[in-house]
Amino acid sequence: MYRAGICTILSQLVRENRIKFVDDFTVATPKTKDFVQKLGTHQLSNVLVITDAIDDNLYLASRNVPHARVVEVAGIDPVSLMHYDSIIVTKATAKQFESVLL
pLDDT in tens, the chain (102 residues): 678 888 889 889 999 999 999 998 889 999 999 999 888 877 777 899 999 888 899 999 999 899 899 999 888 889 999 999 999 999 888 888 777 666
Pairwise CA distance, residues 68 & 96, whole Å: 22
Tell me the pTM.
0.87
Secondary structure (DSSP) of 30-93: S-HHHHHHHHHHTT--SEEEEES---HHHHHHHTT-TTEEEEEGGG--HHHHHH-SEEEEEHHH
Superfamily of structural domain 2-101: Ribosomal protein L4/L1 (3.40.1370.10)
In contact, 50 and 101? CB cutoff 8 Å: no
Q: Domain segments of the chain: what residues?
A: 2-101
Instruction: Please give the distance of CA 35 from its chain centroid, rounded to a whole number.
Output: 13
